[in-house]
Structure 1
Amino acid sequence: MVTAMKAAPPRAILRRLHRPLGRRFGADQSGVSAVEFALILPIMLTLYFGAVELGDALTIKRKVTSVTSSLTDLVTQSKSVTDDDMKNILNAAKTMISPYDDSKLKIKITGVKIDDKGKATVAWSDALNDTAFAKNSPITLPANVSEEDSFLVTTEVHYDYLPTIGYVMTGSFDLNDQYYLRPRLSREVKRPSN
């Protein structure tokens, strides 16, 4: 005759197994630091690489602003700008943006004539890694710099920033600035060959 054995409920079995395992693993602290490090590492890497990428972007943006204002300032200090002068001015921009890649730098320096009715047209335009404006083409100026019967020099600089690592910031960013100045030594800045 077969007697039926009373089966232990599953909870009771788990409790019996859990006690010795729980004591043994609960008391063992040797892997806690490794687990904590593994949990914190992605956050630390994100913060580090994000700071590096943001720092580079801010540095390049500051350099773009410096290039923009310096080039405009150089041009407005002359009565006339020759081809050699313009070449030297644009080469100065390459030096200013270093150690970053100067092939990503796009510059447009434009002389703008504003007639007595307030219509602004391009008197001359030069560019580096970009297309210059066509002579006598209309150009839109902000209202606060447009003054009837005057002349302006404007410089527009763009830098296509692509993060080196691309861990936090992905894609490319157009870091740009534009600057307007009036000539200092004459009524307008001439470009004899343009």
Structure 2
Amino acid sequence: MTIESRLSHIGTGGIFRRFARDKKGVGAIEFAIIFPLLVSLYLTSFELTLGFSVYKRATRSAGTIADNVSAQSSVTKAYLKTMKNLAATILSPYSADGMKLKITGIAIDANQVATVAWSWDQDDGRPYTLGSRVDVPANLRSAADFLVHAEFSVPHELLTVMPTLSSNLKTITISRDYYFAKREGDPIVCGDC
């Protein structure tokens, strides 16, 4: 019996009924439908995990820098420059290229007004004007106190999915900042900042 005779014998409605009853290859079709979704979920979770790891290391960098500086009685630009190396070490194995770092000494007077005592950035500049007022979280404003504020940011290059979806989303900047109070004694002095 030829194919034409079979088709004419079954009829058009019979072919569709037989096709609907046939279960061969259903798993392959379902897998072909679900596979792109599974790959997308995997790549997105991979990208989020990397980004979260860089975020945690940026937080740790800002906190460690503020903690180290707050333990000093006086600092110099040479000492503050070493904080770039500290941040790069904490950020490892991720790249520290393009990182930005600002460290500010903040004096709080008896009226709980916070002002810049000194400031430094990774280019040996002074990012904030001496004596200018600074917004400090309310729970950190204690009369006659001294704070160290570390601001750290690092660009994080997206590796997988996002750069292909949008040409504008190849790099995100992860920024963290941390305040530490001077541990004891007089305010921290930076003679050449």
2:84 to 79, 90, 93: 90
Per the alignment, residue 141 of structure 2 pairs with: 146
1:56 is the counterpart of 2:50: yes
In structure 2, the CA distance between the partners of 1:27 and 1:131, relative to structure 1 (3 Å rule), is farther
Per the alignment, residue 181 of structure 2 pairs with: 182
RMSD across aligned positions (CA): 2.8
Per the alignment, residue 131 of structure 2 pairs with: 136
TM-score (norm: length of structure 1): 0.80
CA distance in 2, matches of 1:179, 1:27: 64
CA distance in 2, matches of 1:25, 1:179: 64
TM-score (norm: length of structure 2): 0.80
Q: What SS does the aligned partner of 2:55 have?
A: helix
Q: Is the 8 A contact 1:116 1:148 kept in 2?
A: yes
CA distance in 2, matches of 1:40, 1:17: 31
Q: How many residues align?
A: 181
1:42 to 32, 36, 39: 36
Q: Is the 8 A contact 2:145 2:182 kept in 1?
A: no
Deviations, residues 39-95 of structure 1 (Å, cap 9, x unaligned) = 011110121011101101110111011101100111011111122211112211112
CA distance in 2, matches of 1:147, 1:17: 86
Shift of 1:144: 0.8
CA distance in 1, matches of 2:55, 2:139: 24
Deviations, residues 140-186 of structure 1 (Å, cap 9, x unaligned) = 11111012222111112223334211349963544332211122253
Structure 1: gaps of 5 or more residues: 1-12
Amino acid at match of 2:153: H
Shift of 1:126: 1.4
Q: What SS does the aligned partner of 2:132 have?
A: coil
CA distance in 2, matches of 1:138, 1:24: 77
Identity, in percent, stands at 28
Q: Is the 8 A contact 1:104 1:159 kept in 2?
A: yes
Q: Is the 8 A contact 1:78 1:185 kept in 2?
A: no
Task: Give the stretch that moved more between structures: 142-151 or 164-173.
Answer: 164-173
Amino acid at match of 2:66: T
Q: What SS does the aligned partner of 2:11 have?
A: helix
Q: Is the 8 A contact 1:49 1:167 kept in 2?
A: no
Per the alignment, residue 72 of structure 2 pairs with: 78
CA distance in 1, matches of 2:12, 2:96: 68
Q: Is the 8 A contact 1:46 1:167 kept in 2?
A: no
Q: What SS does the aligned partner of 1:102 have?
A: coil
CA distance in 1, matches of 2:126, 2:192: 17
In structure 2, the CA distance between the partners of 1:188 and 1:139, relative to structure 1 (3 Å rule), is same
